[in-house]
Structure 1
Amino acid sequence: MDSTGIALTAAHRDDAEQLVALRIAAMRDSLMRIGRFDPQRARQRFLSDYSPAHTRHIELAGQRVGFVVVKPGPDAMLLDHLYIHPDSQGKGLGAIVLARIIEQARAAGLPLKVGALRDSDSNRFYLRHAFKLVAQEEFDNYYLLTVNEQQ
């Protein structure tokens, strides 16, 4: 934990169901907006590639309020998931966690990639943090932040 009061702690295999529930809570409104809310599909998508080694709980004052998954790759780091529970959103927690991830990417000398559900508020979040839109698909937008653009 640092001066922000936020700690990133290791996740374990048996945390999967708790993380699925948090993911569903965080995405519910965005998925409902585009007519794609299906808790079972959201659960399966997450569990199909759950990697505890790359997952960290986001804790504030000892309470879990979200989680983040960052996967290293040969040419880029992938910010695979960043979810803050709806009760804790809008307090700057995501920005603090994202700043830490950007620092990791900078230290590794790698760009940072992320995908976001189209029409989700997360698109504005990533654009505010200097990510560039690089591709769009039917339901998702894909962004890239290169090391020399990081602040």
Structure 2
Amino acid sequence: MTLETVRSKPAGLPSTDLPPIVFIPAGAEDIDRLVDLKVAVMRGELERLGRYTPERAREKFVARFSPERTRLIDLDGRFAGCVTVTDHGAHVEIEHLYLTPACHGSGLGSRIMGVLMDEARALGKPIRLTVLNGSPANRFYQRLGFVETERDPIDIQYFWTP
């Protein structure tokens, strides 16, 4: 999955006047901004699970950060978040999808997932992802048709088949 194209809406959604989503390749220079985004989005959930320290949040993100697989999300000229996607051959994994708090509840997450699901469908590949146990994101992915495949005290694994 390349996410190199700009799309204003995924297939199956009605035409709207929403601004297009632009996926911009991330660079090493983006790491601080992306760590700050992760902390802004995930801190409450990680604290609830007893798994948050600023150092740990940074260390875990930096260890998995891959600029070549990460795209910044631009919406109408402003930074709206990031997504990291890995093609494992038999399936695609969404490793990170973080949106700025200002974008939460705006429908942007559904639009982005629609684009990702359209691309996975075109490749004939399922999508895997992991969500923190108890996170509101679980309902979001279930609404999109993701099915729980595995659970532990911290994470829930999901799978979507085109």
TM-score tier after normalising by the smaller chain length? over 0.9
Determine the C-alpha separation between the residues in 2 that align with 1:33 and 1:65: 25
Match status 1:38 vs 2:77: no
3-state SS of paired residue (1:82): strand
Determine the C-alpha separation between the residues in 2 that align with 1:74 and 1:58: 24
Q: With structure 2 as the length reference, what TM-score do the two structures score?
A: 0.86
Tell me the equivalent position of 1:99. 114
Unaligned 5+ segments in structure 1 are none
Tell me the equivalent position of 2:143. 128
Determine the C-alpha separation between the residues in 2 that align with 1:106 and 1:88: 26
RMSD: 1.1
Match status 1:140 vs 2:161: no
Q: Percent identity?
A: 36
Unaligned 5+ segments in structure 2 are 1-5, 9-17
Determine the C-alpha separation between the residues in 1 that align with 2:86 and 2:119: 11
Match status 1:78 vs 2:101: no
Output the amino acid matched with 2:63: S
Tell me the equivalent position of 2:103. 88
Determine the C-alpha separation between the residues in 2 that align with 1:39 and 1:60: 28
- 1:61-119 per-residue CA deviation (whole Å, 9 max, x = no partner) reads 11001100000002110000000111221101111101111011111111000000111
Aligned-pair distance for 1:35?
2.5
Say which is worse superposed, 75-84 or 31-40, in terms of deviation.
31-40
Greater helix share, 1 or 2? 1
Match status 1:65 vs 2:83: no
What count of residue pairs does the alignment treat as equivalent?
147
Determine the C-alpha separation between the residues in 1 that align with 2:124 and 2:160: 12
Say which is worse superposed, 53-62 or 125-134, in terms of deviation.
53-62
Output the amino acid matched with 1:63: R
Q: With structure 1 as the length reference, what TM-score do the two structures score?
A: 0.92
